[in-house]
Amino acid sequence: MRTYRKTMCILMCLTCTLISAEVSRARVYIDIEAPELQPLPIAIAPLRDIGSSRPDLDRKIMDILANDLTISGFFEIIPRHEFPPESEALADPPDYGRWSTSRAEALVIGGYASRGEQLAIEFRLFDLVEKAFLIGKRYEGSTKSLRDMVHRMSNEITYWITGEKGVFDTKIAFVSTMPGNKEIYVVDFDGHDLRQITRNGSINLSPAWSPDGRLIAFTSYIKRNPDLYLFDLTRSVQIQLSTNPGLNAAPAWSPDGSRMALMMRKEGNSEIFIMNRDGTRPKRVTKSWSSEASPTWSPDGRKIAFVSDRAGSPQVYTTNVNGGNVKRLTYFGSYNACPSWSPKGDKIAYCGRMDGRFEILTVNPDGTDVRRLTESSGNNESPIWSPDGRYIAFSSTREGRSRIYVMNANGANQRRLTSTQGKESSPTWSPRMDR
């Protein structure tokens, strides 16, 4: 009877998933904007094997989930020895009273089933303080997509605790010298599934992921000119896009994906241009005798931040896309570069030289509220925001050779993303894949 009730309960939760999502709205348990964020203590019950011959999957799923929630910076995983000893504590629904002495404020109870190559994972999230059921979901797919399924689960849990979905389904592309030359690689947000993308043997620079997730724009010297190429991720082919003599560099997709800002040569120096996504109709944005570099779009598509040395040293400026209303943004220090406009529009991250080393900083688009996010022994460069604006990826030489790191947008929780045998640089973030 009890088993039957349990099964019913699980079935109910599956069917009720959408309904419950409609009825109860996500409550923000932790304010991720707070300068000193207190991670939410969360317990993950051992998964139930609800019909499979794969006991090994338990560990696998748990590890991915716990790692996701930990690296998010928003959760503290409560170790199992701190769980209440009574089995009722992990019943579904849990006996909330048993948790009253625990630090855990949320509990995940889940299960999985597999048959052949088919896998189903489900979970239910409980608020142990308010003694409430929050959400339950079930994911089905091939065992090959196990990581994706768990990342979606992490996204959902993050949504219910922080008010916005996680970015565990996103990927980061970057340049690595692993093969001896600079090629482009892609890795998951959690550092898994490293893949080499380009294999042209040339010098490949400044990858930029398209807003639809299907293309990576980059500069390559294949034809003895820094030309612009697209790599089509769905077909695994490289397409030549812009080959004007001189620079076709530092591509930046407009937020709607219809246009691209880039560096191009004009009158012997580099200027910011905007062209259509097919490489046609390049239009000049900046007009100066100095060097312009590294364009980045505001999320409303109306402005561009860029680097210029028009005042004698590289500094960050903003301009309207038609070239009007140019404003200098950075004043402190003699070398400020690599701007990246946040997807919410409220911040511009950049790298600035301080005491001979580059650090990552943020500034408001009006030039106020400069904040320093890194303080390390190496150079920190090329910040790029996650699509939710909660994280920044960047390159750093803090551990010797340059590698990619990820931190929370307030500078907390800095972690190395991956480790290729080579120098890593120029990260770019994919859009959400789970849409």
Partner 1 sequence: MAKKWFVVLGVIISLMVVVSCAKKAVKEEPVVTGKAGEQAWGKPGEGAERAGVEEKSLQASLERKKYPGIEGEFLESSLLKDIQFGFDRYDLTPKAREILAQNAELLLKNPRAKIQVEGHCDERGTVEYNLALGERRANSTRQYLISLGVSGDRMSTISYGEEMPLDPSHNEEAWGKNRRAHFIILSR
What are the residues binding partner 1 (CB under 8 A)? 180-182, 200-203, 205-206, 221-226, 245-247, 249-250, 263, 265, 268-270, 291-294, 307, 309, 313-314, 335, 337-338, 351, 381-382, 425-426
Q: Is the dihedral of CA 82, 84, 86, 92 positive or negative?
A: negative
Q: Quote the tokens at residue 357.
A: 């080393």
Q: Please identify which residue in the block is written with the tokens 């409430």.
A: 132
The residue among 45 and 264 lying less far from partner 1, judged by its C-beta, is 264
To partner 1, the closest distance from the beta carbon of 335 in angstroms equals 7
Which is closer to partner 1, CB of 50 or CB of 354? 354
Give min distance, CB of 268 to partner 1, in A: 4
Q: For residues 99 and 348, give the distance between their C-alpha atoms in angstroms, rounded to a whole number.
A: 43
Smallest gap from residue 313 Cβ to partner 1 (A): 7
Read off φ and ψ for residue 217, nearest 5 degrees. Answer: -85, 145
Q: How far is the CB of 154 from partner 1 (least distance, A)?
A: 33
Toward partner 1, which CB reaches closer, 51 or 201? Answer: 201
* Residue with smaller CB distance to partner 1, 388 or 424: 424
Residue 431 contacts by C-beta under 8 Å, 6 or more apart in sequence? 170, 209, 211, 212, 213, 387
SS3 149: helix
Q: Which is nearer to partner 1, 203 or 354 (CB)?
A: 203
Alpha carbon distance 375, 363 (integer Å): 16
Bond into 93 cis (ω within 30): yes
The Cα–Cα gap between 124 and 388 comes to 24
Can you list the alpha helix ranges (DSSP code H) found in 35-145? Answer: 56-71
CB of 384 to partner 1, least distance (A): 13
Q: Which is nearer to partner 1, 124 or 182 (CB)?
A: 182
- Least CB distance from residue 95 to partner 1, whole Å? 57
How many C-beta neighbours within 10 Å does residue 72 have? 25
Q: Give the N- to C-terminal CA distance of the chain in Å, as an integer.
A: 39
Q: At what angle do helices 56-71 and 146-162 cross, to 10 degrees?
A: 40
Q: CA-CA distance, 288 to 319, in Å (whole number)?
A: 13
To partner 1, the closest distance from the beta carbon of 241 in angstroms equals 17
Whichever of 106 and 307 has its CB closer to partner 1, that residue is 307
